[in-house]
Amino acid sequence: MTEFSENKTPKPAPASGCPFGYGEPLTHEAQNVAELPALTRGDDGMYHVHRFATAREVLRQDAVQQAGFMSESSQSSGPQLTNQPVLFAEGDHHHDMRRQTAKYFTPASVAGYQPMIAGLADRLIAGLVRDGEANLDDLSLVLAVEVAAQVVGLTSSLLPGLEKRVMSFVEHGLDSQPGAAQNMSRGRQTLMQTNVAAFFLLDVKPAIAARRRKRRDDLISHLLDRDYSDTEIVTECLTYATAGMVTTREFISAAAWHLLGHSELRADYVHGTEKERHAILHEILRLEPVVRTLYRRTTEDLTLDGQQVPAGSVLALHLTEANTDPDVVGDPANALCPMRPLPRGVQAPVLAFGDGHHRCPGAFLAIRESDVFLRRLLIWNDLEIVTPPTVTTNETVKGYEIRGFKVRLGQTRGDHAKT
């Protein structure tokens, strides 16, 4: 029995006075989750989890292991590593790695990145002011990659274009669903190997060399202190790139789309306190989780929602559905209601950052950098959408991709210069 059964925690009261009850999510079709069972067995052989309580129970289980983000295929076909990347690792190694690297993502550490993030955001928006228009998804990519690069230590690249090299891993990546058929033609395999080699030679290897000479307060320095090999370091950097940089990029675009589309929400965001702004971003993320599906494989027999799930089974956790479970978030579950009442122990993004020992370590950093950039962007009253973006699915991260999101400033550049 989960802690959110009716015998333990009452259903929260409906969100009263919801100020932004307009909302269908932008990047998917909303469902009435109240009509869905907690767990179903699909024709694909996987067990599909639709409700919050069961999804969180799975994520907190010791008897499951990571099965998404190419973890299983990487471990079976990739190089044999003494130290698995933190995204794939389990057990004591994983817990130790999370404890050791938590210092890079604490609120105090993130506050130390604030001047860097603010300076970068100002530079990107200055470019928009100068040019009059830009693709917002391009700006968010540069922001997400450069911020994460500071934390990881990818700051000694031999050539510009780190963001393009990072995106090559997901744009030309494989389907991360466990057991999915992969189109691994010789040409595609060669392209992937070339992309990894370019990332290593141009970005990772120079960073390693610089930190061998002098350690810095970043992840690569920490990995060198733990005697990670070059192969293990580049693998860790790849996981941070796909799991961190790429997802933050997409969320910034999704949040901007919501905020630009609704003037009252935008005004509340721009003029709100940091707590209020973060509440709005958390609520957008609840409705628009960048990673829509997490996968776990059971290592022993489990009982979930009264059903027996055998060891070795794959569980697909549908976060878009779990995040709009009315038994947890109240009604209206699909509306955008910042600071909605939630049961004790449930955070505002619900499961958008995951839960349990694989919960996203960079959650606070992602919200902070998004807020710094978006507030600076949206304070320009004449900012408007030129071309609404197209939304597709990225099968590597099992999330949405927002592209071609063109925005412009309505005044002339000369008028902006006088502002």
What are the pLDDT digits (tens) for 325-361?
999 999 889 999 999 999 999 999 999 999 998 899 8
Please give the share of the chain, as a percent, with pLDDT higher than 90. Answer: 64
Q: Which of 44, 58, 298 lies closest to 177, judged by CA?
A: 44
- Residue 292: which of 327, 332, 254, 333 has the closest Cα? 254
Domain presence at residue 227: yes
What is the model's pLDDT at position 142? 96
Kindly state whether residue 328 falls inside one of the protein's structural domains: yes
Tokens 């990332």 belong to which residue? 199
**65-84: average pLDDT:** 65
Count the residues in the chain: 419
* C-alpha–C-alpha distance, residues 245 and 149, integer Å: 9
DSSP conformational letter for 37? -
Tell me: the pLDDT tens digits for 175-228? Answer: 778 876 666 677 777 888 898 999 999 999 999 999 999 999 999 999 999 999
Residue 292 within a domain = yes
Examine the pLDDT at 389 and tell me if it is beyond 80: yes
In a domain, 318, yes or no: yes
User: Are 116 and 147 within 8 A, CB to CB?
Assistant: yes
In CATH, what number is assigned to the domain containing residue 166?
1.10.630.10
Closest to 51 measured CA to CA, from 66, 25, 31: 31
**Three-class HEC string of 245-287:** HHHHHHHHHHHHHHHHHCHHHHHHHHHCCHHHHHHHHHHHHHH
Between 50 and 418, the higher pLDDT residue: 50
- In-domain check, residue 87: yes
Q: What angle do CA 353, 84, 58 make, to 5 degrees?
A: 40
| pLDDT-derived band at 71, boundaries 50, 70, 90 | low
The boundaries of the domain holding residue 62 are: 33-418
Write the single-letter amino acid at 411.
Q
With the C-alpha atoms ordered 310, 77, 192, 354, is the resulting torsion angle positive or negative?
positive
| pTM: predicted TM-score of the whole model, two decimal places | 0.90
329 or 104, greater pLDDT: 329
Q: Is residue 9 part of a domain?
A: no
Residue 296 has what pLDDT? 94
In this prediction, residue 140 has a pLDDT band, given cuts at 50, 70 and 90, of very high
Looking up tokens 């059964």 gives 5
Look at the chain and report how many structural domains it folds into: 1
Is the pLDDT score of 416 beyond 70? no
- The pLDDT value given to residue 1: 33
| Spatial distance between the Cα atoms of 231 and 234, rounded to a whole number of angstroms | 5
Return the bridge partners of 402, or none. Answer: 391
CA distance from start to end of the chain: 60
* Residue among 21, 41, 87, 26 nearest 397 (CA): 87
pLDDT tens for each residue of 38-47:
999 999 999 9
**Residue 25 is assigned to a structural domain of this protein:** no
Q: Which residue, among 241, 235, 294, has the nearest Cα to 84 in the 3D structure?
A: 235
Sheet strands (E) in 15-122: 39-41, 47-49, 64-66
Closest CA to 376 of 179, 174, 114: 114
DSSP states of 339-352:
T----TT--TTTTT
In whole angstroms, what is the distance from residue 134 CA to residue 118 CA? 19
In this prediction, residue 370 has a pLDDT band, given cuts at 50, 70 and 90, of: very high
* DSSP letters for 138-186: HHHHHHHHHHHHHHHT----SSS-HHHHHHHHHHT----STT------H
Look at residue 280 in the predicted model and tell me its pLDDT. 95
Specify if 4 maps to a domain. no
Helix (H) / strand (E) containing 403: strand 399-403
